[in-house]
A and B are shown apart, each in its own frame.
Chain A
Amino acid sequence: MRIALTELRRRPARFAPALVALMLLTLLLLVLGGLLDGLYNGSTGALRAQPGELLTYSSDAKLSLVRSRIDAATAAEVAKAPGVEQVGGLGVVLLGAKVPDRAEEASVALFGYQLAPRGVPSPPQHTGDVYADRSLRAHGVKLGQTLLLGPNRYPVAVIGWVSDTNFLLQGGLWGNVETWRKAVESARPDAVLAPGTFQALTVVVSPGSKPTEVAAAIDAATGGTTHTVTRSFAVDSLPGLAQQRTTFNAIIFTTFFVAALVVALFFALLTLERTTMYAVFKAVGASSRQIFAQVLSQAVVIALLSFALGAVLALAATFVIPPQVPLQLTQARAVEVVVGLVVMSVAGSVLSLRRVVRVDPASAIG
């Protein structure tokens, strides 16, 4: 091991090609992962933050929050269903927001809510007051500002910040039910809902009840006019999300595979070049295991160094990439990339094992 590390220290140029290749792959993995996380979180934050384990939509809405309608009578049936502890109405309208001193409008999703989502205070008392998602700061939104929503410029005042509450990549604004209704009335008078009607219900399940069973009970109680699903199912059913995730994951897995290939080819060539040295090591008493441990330790160190350099580059990239691009570098993603790189480097270096085992110590003397 010490010999392998000494070589890395004294001959860095020899390992530079693999280091640079893996560093760039790390950058790619972190940026791709960051974009995937950013897109996912930006699309799903509002649903993930819901306090209830279940979400109830109208059965004809095909799990679309925008299309769904739940009237007051249905909501009352839901509340009475076995296993239901609490029910809260939820409404949303997607609008453009005029931000003071900004030429471009920010895209926002204004929610009216009865039960406070995770990290969001109780509904504001005053109609027209909203909590804004922190991501809107990238669009110039400031605390205390008045944003003008929709074509008829319905005014809402930002009274606080909340995090990770965006919906379909639109900045989350959270007001009381009346604020939401007024905004809909102002922007889309044709889409105004009857009093007591919401787009969906967030349903808190009684302790000890099984959410899937409660969901079935709700839909039975409403005579099939509702479609109740778990929060995670609702999140996964958002349009395009699954395809987005599959595409990104395919690229990420391919990149990991390329990383393994880079390490495999690099160390295969290096092992070929070192056949005489390994023969000498074997002649003086090194086992194949000891030699392979050297190859392995070099592969792991290169993977870790590449990750560190790639992570620095990725962090630097966040300063260059416009804030509107939904790039989120998370610790979980970084851990996944570093573990993935190490695993792929180990897998790649295993290709050299056969060659190491086959090195004939007698060739040192021949």
Chain B
Amino acid sequence: MNALTLDEVRKVYRSGDEEIVALDHASLEVADAEILALVGPSGSGKTTLLSIAGGLLSPSEGRVIVAGDDISRYEPKRLTAFRRENVGFVFQSVNLVPFLTARENLLVVAELDRRDRKKAAKRADQLLDELGLGARKGNLPAQLSGGERQRVAVGRAFMNEPDLVLIDEPTSALDTRLGEQVMQLIVDEVRARETAAVIVTHDLRMTRYADRVLEITDGVLHSGPD
């Protein structure tokens, strides 16, 4: 079973009488434990694809199957539950809650899901240790470096033991050395947990961490650069 299947997915936005095609009959499969890199210029449809795969947007046409469940026609309430239970996100701008410590930022996910707090706390500690943030877990985001913040965001994405992790430009705000460190951490986490991941990036140097690379231009998917 694939972790993610997109089958002839279209996403169309309307602006007055005009129709803007953000994603045009996109089809792809991501196997379990596979890391797929998605590259393309700004406005090419990368973010739309990531949003549809993560249940943040619904497709106009086509099917989206995550871990065997067709989420294409889920109602908003069911999509919310789906995101809470099945998907992990790492956002481009990190987006940590500024008044919560690193550890609490991970526990936000557990709190939303009303999970066993003790179990969740244990998992948060374990993830932070793995990400090298064991000693920084009591720090607020403002007290962490850019790389550390990004690592907290990675930890948050893995808190709900997701089937699929969606990562948006993880290195855009980091220098090359830090970017590579973070990418290596992401890859290590994905591999260790045998989770599938889709990584959107501008930075072609980062594609070497992926098992496969796809390129998207004007909403159309192509095989990626060699």
Q: Do A and B bind each other?
A: yes
A–B pairs, 9, beta carbons within 8 Å = A3-B108, A284-B84, A284-B156, A285-B112, A287-B80, A365-B47, A365-B50, A365-B166, A366-B47
Q: How distant is A75 from chain B, measured CB to nearest CB, in Å?
A: 74
Q: How distant is B21 from chain A, measured CB to nearest CB, in Å?
A: 17
Other-chain residue from A3, A277, A361 in contact with B83 (beta carbon distance below 8 A): A361
Q: Contact between A283 and B100 (Cβ–Cβ < 8 Å)? A: no
A276 to B96, CA, bound (A): 10
Q: Which residues of B contact A287 (CB under 8 A)?
A: 77, 80
Q: Contact between B51 and A277 (Cβ–Cβ < 8 Å)? A: no
Closest 10 CB pairs of A and B: A285-B84, A362-B56, A280-B95, A285-B83, A10-B99, A362-B51, A286-B112, A7-B99, A361-B56, A362-B57
Q: Contact between A365 and B54 (Cβ–Cβ < 8 Å)? A: yes
Question: Residue A290 at the B interface, CB < 8 A?
Answer: yes
Given contacts A7-B99, A286-B112, A362-B51, 7 further A-B contacts (CB under 8 A): A6-B99, A276-B95, A281-B112, A284-B156, A361-B80, A364-B91, A365-B51
Question: Residue A282 at the B interface, CB < 8 A?
Answer: yes
With A280-B91, A284-B84, A285-B85 in contact, is A365–B168 under 8 Å at CB? yes
Residue among B81, B104, B108 having the largest count of chain A Cβ atoms under 10 Å: B108
Q: Which residues of A contact B156 (CB under 8 A)?
A: 284
Other-chain residue from B47, B81, B92, B100 in contact with A285 (beta carbon distance below 8 A): B81
Question: Residue B111 at the A interface, CB < 8 A?
Answer: yes
A294 to B5, CA, bound (A): 36
Q: Which residues of A contact B92 (CB under 8 A)?
A: 365
Interface bracket on A: 20 to 34
Question: Residue A11 at the B interface, CB < 8 A?
Answer: yes
Q: Which residues of A contact B112 (CB under 8 A)?
A: 281, 284-286, 290
Cβ < 8 Å to A, chain B residues 62-113 = 77, 80-81, 83-85, 89, 91-92, 95, 97, 99-100, 104, 108-109, 111-113
Residue among A3, A7, A286, A365 having the largest count of chain B Cβ atoms under 10 Å: A365
A147 to B56, CA, bound (A): 83
Q: How distant is B34 from chain A, measured CB to nearest CB, in Å?
A: 21
Main SS of chain A's interface residues?
helix
Q: Contact between B109 and A284 (Cβ–Cβ < 8 Å)? A: yes
From B100, which residue of chain A is reached at the shortest CB distance?
A6
Q: Contact between B95 and A364 (Cβ–Cβ < 8 Å)? A: yes
Q: Which residues of A contact B104 (CB under 8 A)?
A: 6
B-binding residues in A (CB < 8 A): 2-3, 6-7, 10-11, 276-277, 280-287, 290, 361-362, 364-366
Q: How distant is A360 from chain B, measured CB to nearest CB, in Å?
A: 8
A267 to B113, CA, bound (A): 25
From A9, which residue of chain B is reached at the shortest CB distance?
B99
Q: Which residues of A contact B113 (CB under 8 A)?
A: 285
Residue among A7, A285, A286 having the largest count of chain B Cβ atoms under 10 Å: A285
From A287, which residue of chain B is reached at the shortest CB distance?
B80
A11 to B99, CA, bound (A): 7
From A284, which residue of chain B is reached at the shortest CB distance?
B109
A10 to B98, CA, bound (A): 10
Q: Which residues of A contact B166 (CB under 8 A)?
A: 365
A366 to B11, CA, bound (A): 15
Q: How distant is B79 from chain A, measured CB to nearest CB, in Å?
A: 9
A8 to B122, CA, bound (A): 26
Q: How distant is B1 from chain A, measured CB to nearest CB, in Å?
A: 22
From B159, which residue of chain A is reached at the shortest CB distance?
A284
Q: How distant is A58 from chain B, measured CB to nearest CB, in Å?
A: 72
Q: Contact between B80 and A365 (Cβ–Cβ < 8 Å)? A: no
Q: How distant is B90 from chain A, measured CB to nearest CB, in Å?
A: 10
Q: Contact between A365 and B100 (Cβ–Cβ < 8 Å)? A: no
Q: Which residues of B contact A362 (CB under 8 A)?
A: 51, 56-57
A307 to B214, CA, bound (A): 59
Q: Which residues of A contact B57 (CB under 8 A)?
A: 362
A2 to B120, CA, bound (A): 15
Q: Contact between B95 and A277 (Cβ–Cβ < 8 Å)? A: yes
Other-chain residue from A10, A365, A366 in contact with B89 (beta carbon distance below 8 A): A365
Other-chain residue from B77, B89, B95, B97 in contact with A3 (beta carbon distance below 8 A): B97
Q: Which residues of A contact B56 (CB under 8 A)?
A: 283, 361-362, 364-365
A53 to B68, CA, bound (A): 78
Q: How distant is A283 from chain B, measured CB to nearest CB, in Å?
A: 6
Q: Which residues of B contact A2 (CB under 8 A)?
A: 111
Q: Which residues of B contact A361 (CB under 8 A)?
A: 56, 80, 83
Other-chain residue from B85, B108, B160, B168 in contact with A281 (beta carbon distance below 8 A): B108
Q: How distant is A274 from chain B, measured CB to nearest CB, in Å?
A: 10
With A10-B99, A365-B51 in contact, is A3–B80 under 8 Å at CB? no
Other-chain residue from A277, A280, A282 in contact with B80 (beta carbon distance below 8 A): A282
With A3-B97, A10-B99, A364-B56 in contact, is A285–B80 under 8 Å at CB? yes
A178 to B80, CA, bound (A): 83
A283 to B111, CA, bound (A): 14
Q: How distant is A2 from chain B, measured CB to nearest CB, in Å?
A: 6
A248 to B163, CA, bound (A): 63
Q: Which residues of B contact A281 (CB under 8 A)?
A: 108, 112
Q: Contact between B168 and A284 (Cβ–Cβ < 8 Å)? A: no
A1 to B34, CA, bound (A): 37
